[in-house]
């Protein structure tokens, strides 16, 4: 089994419901959710004229390799109704692979660790809640250190 960290996000419609559905689908199709962060209300990153997001990070144990995991994630997003119109635009569900063990992968359709992870408070705060000592394989720093060094000051509030 492989350990991976996924970020779930939603800022359209009933975001709590979409995240709950995504969690159920992930457990049914991709692996075992070992840990869940709290839900966080977060400001939009990259495109600021849209509603706040709900975000959550999970630790997933999976038998799937990274490419098959990505395919499963895209299938779950499509099942829930995700449509891709614009980069960083509003969405009913978004599921990103943040980390997959200590792998470094750079492909056109898959980058692990997630390229923007070290720059986003809305990723690092929930990740730090469940995996503060995890070492970023490219940067050699743990998640807590990355959060402390972060310059992103966008709004992130722990909800539950």
The 10s digit of each residue's pLDDT in 70-118 is 999 999 999 998 776 666 567 899 999 999 999 999 999 999 999 999 9
Q: Between the CA of residue 78 and those of 16, 73, 101, what are the distances in Å?
A: 17, 9, 26
Please report where in the chains the tokens 């970023």 appear, as a residue: 136
Query: Which of 58, 55, 48 is CA-nearest to residue 159?
Result: 55
pTM of the model: 0.94
Phi, psi values for residue 142, rounded to 5°: -80, 170
Q: Give the residue numbers marked as catalytic.
A: 82, 91, 94, 96
Domains and CATH numbers, the chain: 2-158 (3.30.70.560)
pLDDT, mean over the chain: 93
So what's the pLDDT on residue 87? Answer: 62
């Amino acid at each position: 089994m492989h350990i991976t960290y996924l970020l779930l996000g939603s800022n359209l419609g009933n975001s709590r419901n979409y995240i709950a559905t995504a969690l159920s689908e992930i457990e049914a199709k991709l692996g075992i959710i070992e840990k869940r962060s709290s839900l966080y209300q977060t400001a939009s990153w990259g495109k600021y004229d849209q509603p706040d997001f709900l975000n959550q990070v999970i630790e997933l144990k999976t038998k799937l390799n990274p490419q098959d995991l990505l395919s499963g994630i895209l299938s779950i997003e499509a099942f829930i109704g995700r449509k891709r119109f614009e980069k960083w635009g509003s969405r009913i569900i978004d599921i990103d692979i943040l980390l997959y063990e200590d792998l470094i992968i750079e492909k056109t359709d898959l980058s692990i660790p997630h390229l923007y992870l070290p720059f986003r408070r809305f990723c690092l705060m929930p990740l730090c809640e469940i995996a503060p000592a995890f070492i970023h394989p490219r940067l050699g720093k743990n998640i807590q250190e990355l959060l402390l060094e972060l310059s992103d000051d966008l709004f992130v509030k722990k909800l539950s």
